[in-house]
Amino acid sequence: MEWSDEGIILGTRRHGESSAIVELMTRGHGRHLGLVRGGAGSRMRPLLQPGNSVTAVWRARLDEHLGYYALEGTRLRAATMFASPHAVYGVTHLASLVRLLPERDPHEDIYEMLAAILDDFDDVGGAGAHLVRFELAMLAELGFGLDLSACAATGTARDLIYVSPKSGAAVSRQAGEPWRERLLPLPPFLRESDDGRNGWSGGDIADGFRLTGLFLLRNVLEPRGQGHSDAREGFIAAVTRPRVRTAAE
């Protein structure tokens, strides 16, 4: 068995004296493990950092075997990203989200979104907004997508500022006014009528993570006996410090 693909390194762990088991999110073969000979050595260490992009050739005698990777770097982001605390937390959290997907199950849209986020991770506020959207995409991929396109009560697509914590559907300002204390805020950057030109504040991003966090915990993590990771909390703290980004910056 042999295939070639492009992938993003999610993590590694030492195997034996000199090898490493490397976990990739690949474009066409999903989340996939493989053994890299010499992967525990200093020569390979810069390549095998989470967040780096590689081309991979995987070989095994049978498809169900762990197999061996031959890897070549294509975009080594880690050295730059890991100078920022939010990036260290963010890459770790992104990997934990991708691990919610079944192993070896292709999810090309998630791969594309992951690569785009990592390429634009230097801006703190932008990274926060991108990661909220990634959590929304993961909810949809896992079968628990939110409907933020129209009001659950009236069907209107205008003035959507709330989300029902029960149904995960958007609610308009007028329809939600009597129950506003029970509803979750829908931050402007997640509204379909908002293209992000007005920027986002730390409060907007915190609202976004509160929204996705509720549904991830209830629908995905708690049924698996899991909770939110420390990396997620560290990332949120790093990207929600008081700041506002606008088009004028």
What is 154-173 written as a DSSP string? T---SSEEEE-TTT-EEEEH
pLDDT exceeds cutoff 90 at 182: yes
List the structure tokens of 219: 């629908």
**How does the average pLDDT of the chain come out, rounded?**
92
* Percent of residues, the chain, with pLDDT higher than 70: 94
User: What's the gap between Cα 116 and its chain centre?
Assistant: 10
Cα dihedral sign, 79-85-86-90 = positive
Distance CA 205, CA 207 (A): 5
| Structure-derived torsion over alpha carbons of residues 167, 172, 175, 180, reported in degrees to the nearest 10 | 70
Interval 118-148: pLDDT, tens? 998 888 888 999 999 999 999 999 999 999 9
Using alpha carbons, select from 215, 185, 214 the residue that is nearest to residue 200.
185
Pairwise pLDDT comparison (191 vs 24), residue with the higher score: 24
Confidence of residue 249 (pLDDT cuts 50, 70, 90): very low
pLDDT exceeds cutoff 80 at 8: yes
List the structure tokens of 202: 């730390």
pLDDT at 151: 95
Interval 89-102: pLDDT, tens? 999 999 999 999 99
Q: Domain ranges in the chain?
A: 2-77, 123-245
pLDDT exceeds cutoff 50 at 246: no
pLDDT at 248: 38
Q: Is 239 helix (H, G, I), strand (E, B) or coil?
A: helix
pTM over 0.85: yes
* Percent of residues, the chain, with pLDDT higher than 90: 85
Average pLDDT on 186-210 reads: 80
DSSP 227: -
pLDDT at 202: 87
Residue type present at position 44:
M
Average pLDDT on 188-217 reads: 83
Distance CA 215, CA 230 (A): 18
Q: What is the CATH number of domain 2-77?
A: 2.40.50.140
pLDDT exceeds cutoff 80 at 46: yes
